[in-house]
Amino acid sequence: MKLVHVQSLELLDRMCKEVSSSNVEQRKKSGVYFSIFSSIERGNFEFIFGIVKANPDLVWSRDHDSRSIFSLAVLHRQAKIFSLIYGLAVKKSMTSWIHKMGNNILHMAGMTGDSTLLNRIPGAALQMQRELQWFKEVESIVPMRFKEFLNNDRLTPRELFTKNHKDLMKEGEKWMKGTATSCTVVGALTVTIMFAAAFTVPGGNVQDTGYPIFLNEKLFMLFIISDALSLFSSSTSVLMFLGILTSRYAEDDFLESLPRKMIIGLSTLFFSIAAMMMAFSAALLIMLHGQSWIVIPVVCLATLPITLFVLMQFPLLADMFISTYGPGIFDKKMGRWI
């Protein structure tokens, strides 16, 4: 594979040398334009970067529908190729073209993205978020008049986006509500258990004073603190999930509002389960003091629910956090390259 990669780069270098001195007619006959448009569809960044850098005139290439290389990059959701636009001095000119059917580059962002790339993103809600990120990013660099520009179907880019993403938004709402409902049940159970445990402390209470028998024990303080932390964090998670269930589910809510609630809800739920297991272990150590042969295996087993939860939910939590608060899918710091 390394040898193939090296040979591919060498072949590309030789192709770039030929293209650098070719004219329009030669490029048409040799299939340069076809190769460029095919490479954009497949996300072949190295080819696009090398060829266009070798002959900067190719940045103005258009396909049979009068779409530029950056319009096609938006249509096929190729973020790395689209990021090349940030390294151009003619960025505004590249976003000002009108294609056939009266669509501009923002209309391209309003169309449904490449299904193959979209399916790599877990969950319909995150897929909807990614589509919104594309639309918002393209919207931020196009001329102001393009935002309300009507195509041949009399649709603005935002209206086209709403029309094409109606089904995805419904799937995202269903996914969000299903996840929130399941997590609400777990959070509510944890709240109930931890609230009851606070008043049925291990060892019981002194009959005369009502104070817990093990009040001065360090393990008892660990039990109380863990119980309180679990109660508060699980209550927070339930409130966050209820906020998701009662949300209006507007398009822009999928961009940050709903993911933020889901991130807080999953994080606090995870913390509450961990704190609950800690409280259980502390109570067990108090009740079976000196019986290490049974305490140690049970405490080890107490980590099993936490481990299972991490394995099942943490990848989703990480993906959602990176997608919402990460560096983003676009390289806005792209330096001048032609």
Instruction: Output the CA–CA distances (angstroms, integers) from residue 183 to 121, 216, 228, 275, in the order listed.
Output: 21, 36, 20, 17
Q: Is the per-residue pLDDT at 156 higher than 80?
A: yes
Q: What is the pLDDT of residue 165?
A: 94
Instruction: Look at residue 337 and tell me if it is in a domain.
Output: no
**Residue 194 falls within a domain, yes or no?**
yes
For 304, the 3-state DSSP assignment is: helix
Average pLDDT over residues 47-75: 91
Instruction: Say if residue 151 is in the same domain as residue 249.
Output: no
Q: Helix H segments across the chain?
A: 2-20, 24-29, 32-42, 45-54, 69-75, 79-82, 91-94, 105-110, 115-119, 124-141, 157-164, 166-199, 218-245, 257-287, 292-325
Mean pLDDT in residue range 78-106: 89
**What integer pLDDT is reported at residue 234 of this predicted model?**
95
In this structure, the answer to whether residues 102 and 219 fall within a common structural domain is no
Instruction: Say how many domains are in the chain.
Output: 2
Residues 147 and 161 in one domain: yes
- Predicted confidence band at 312 (pLDDT cuts at 50, 70, 90)? confident
Residues 172 and 160 in one domain: no
- Do 149 and 8 share a structural domain? yes
Is residue 187 located within the same domain as residue 122? Answer: no
Answer with the one of 166, 191, 220 that is the final residue of a domain.
166
Which one of 117, 148, 166 terminates a domain? 166
- Contact present, 313 and 270 (Cβ < 8 Å): yes
- Do residue 173 and residue 160 come from a single domain? no
10: pLDDT confidence band, cut at 50, 70 and 90? very high
Same domain for 160 and 85:
yes
Contact 150, 156 (CB under 8 A): yes
As a whole number, mean pLDDT of residues 224-229 equals: 92
* Span of 96-100, 191-195, 303-307 with lowest mean pLDDT: 303-307
Q: Name the least confident of 20-29, 98-107, 292-301, 312-321.
A: 292-301
Within a domain: 281: yes
Residues 232 and 315 in one domain: yes
CATH value at residue 118: 1.25.40.20
Reduce the DSSP state of residue 27 to 3 states and report it.
Answer: helix
- The verdict on 157 and 214 lying in the same domain is no
On whether both 123 and 224 belong to a single domain, the answer is no
Question: Within a domain: residue 234?
Answer: yes
Task: With respect to residue 94, please indicate whether it lies within any of the assigned structural domains.
Answer: yes
Domain stop point among 166, 185, 220: 166
Considering the domain architecture, whether residues 230 and 121 belong to the same structural domain is answered as: no
pLDDT at 105 exceeding the cut of 70? yes
Across 210-216, average pLDDT: 74
Maximum alpha-carbon separation in the chain? 101
Domain extent at residue 290: 168-325
Q: What is the mean pLDDT of the chain?
A: 89
With bands split at pLDDT 50, 70 and 90, how would you rate the model's confidence at 290?
A: low
Q: Given a cut of 90, is residue 241 above it in pLDDT?
A: yes
Q: Is residue 285 part of a domain?
A: yes
- Please tell me the predicted confidence (pLDDT) of residue 337: 83
Residue found by looking up tokens 């949300």 in the block: 247
Whether 331 is covered by a domain: the verdict is no
Would you say residue 314 lies in a domain?
Answer: yes
